[in-house]
Amino acid sequence: MSTQQPCVVLVYQRTTLPWVFESAERAGIRLILVPRPDETVDPDRLPPAVADVLRLDIDGDRAGALATLRKLHETTPFQGICTLYDPAVPFVAEAAGTLGLPGIGRDAALGAQDKRVMRERLASAGLNAPRFVAMKDASAWEDAAHLDFPVVVKPAHGFSSLGVTKAERPDELRAVVDEVWQVCQDTLGEGLIVEEYLDGPEFAVESLAHHGEVTVCAIGYKGEPEGPYFEESVYRAPAVLPEAVRDAIRREVTAAHTALGITDGPTHTELRLRGGRPYLLELGARIGGSGVSGYIVRNVTGLDFAADALRIATGQPPRSFRPGHSPAATGAAANYIVPCGGSGRITAIHGLDELRADPRVDHVVQMLFPGDVVRPYPDFTGYPAFVLSRHATTAEAEEFHRALETAIRVEYAPV
């Protein structure tokens, strides 16, 4: 490994999701990959940017994982550590602090990962927020009965759609809380939050922070999911919005960074517009979608979002926002998130092979295959596939996604 190139430990990133690896290669940054525990990595098929592979069990042996990183850093120093996997954000912040590397710190990581803490800090800062109740135990469900219904019940440390469930009426609340609590106990540890449901269109905001300065790089449309389980389906950017609304989103997202203490690194924010006002659903201190956000930003603006995120992780300034460098719009980019559309054992997934030859499609990333078992919601197994594409306009991306709704179909057999 060349000593001239900065090196970053990349925690729990799947090699089947290529964008951050490609950005690292373009930026001249070498990676030490920490694979997911359930992933088998073929050393002969590693992305070129990966210099080494390091196995760590950050959930089962956190102290051992930190000790291994410390020993590695003493013998072969690396310049940064990062993750695109939301549950690993607190560990990465702790490791960075322990080793004296750039990072957001444990307190900011807690605010970005625990939805109870996030809601409290955003509300204290006077930002737009629904009323909410944090719970340590499912027996406290009555504490949320005074909220305006419908409400949404979430695991405090959840990610993606795991466990997120809507309760339409007060008489449904106890059953929904018990259901989500079971998911928490099985997979995430204790803690729930119940918050008033926000209707309206949903958007994703990709930002970079450096020394406290926040740059909103892209705003994308995420559909208008109504529940009860909020399975994601689309991401199209740039979102078609009046400039006044875009400004309001930028102000709210920037203020949220301040409220949460996130001064450096990439963030992925999800929010809803209600009456033209942005209400944050959550803000993740990471590149969103396991790297999809980097693809979206790069193909909408020309900015290498993931490369700059890696630079910040090593203590370097981002290059995209130097004086005189102004990003230029390059069209629209989109991700069709193939919905599970059911549960059971997958017998077939129709429509993906035909898309691989479509000139509009850059990537068909398949995560689930025939034989895999999809658990029913509110549990979350994962999405069958991502279809990433480029288009001249957002309207063309929308038309493409409407066609995919019928072109792609997942078939199941009972388990």
Domain with CATH 3.30.1490.20 in the chain: 131-196
pTM of the predicted structure, to 2 decimals: 0.94
Q: Which CATH number fits domain 202-413: 3.40.50.880, 3.60.21.10, 3.50.30.10, 3.30.470.20?
A: 3.30.470.20
Contact criterion met (CB below 8 Å) for 210 and 230: no
User: What is the pLDDT, as a whole number, of residue 327?
Assistant: 56
- The alpha-carbon radius of gyration of the chain (Å, integer) is 21
Q: What is the largest CA-CA distance in the chain?
A: 63
Structural fold of domain 7-111: Rossmann fold (3.40.50)
User: Could you report the per-residue pLDDT of 370-415, keeping only the tens digit for each?
Assistant: 999 999 888 888 899 999 999 999 999 999 999 999 999 999 999 9
Residue 273, phi then psi, degrees to nearest 5: -100, 125
User: What is the pLDDT, as a whole number, of residue 4?
Assistant: 73
Question: Of 148, 115, 142, whose CA–CA distance to 130 is shortest?
Answer: 148
Instruction: Name the DSSP class of 201.
Output: -
Report residues of the chain scoring pLDDT below 50: 1-2
Residues in the chain: 415
How far apart are the C-alpha atoms of 6 and 246, rounded to whole Å?
36
How far apart are the C-alpha atoms of 134 and 63, rounded to whole Å?
29
User: What is the pLDDT, as a whole number, of residue 324?
Assistant: 56
Domain with CATH 3.40.50.20 in the chain: 7-111
- Write the DSSP assignment of 107-150 as a string of letters: HHHHHHH-HHHHHHHHHHTT-----EEEESSGGGGGGGTTSPSS
CB within 8 Å of 396: residues ≥ 6 apart: 332
User: What is the pLDDT, as a whole number, of residue 316?
Assistant: 95
User: What is the pLDDT, as a whole number, of residue 137?
Assistant: 86
DSSP strands (E only) in 290-384: 332-338, 344-350, 361-366, 373-374
* Domain boundaries 131-196, CATH class: alpha beta
User: What is the pLDDT, as a whole number, of residue 380?
Assistant: 83
Domain with CATH 3.30.470.20 in the chain: 202-413
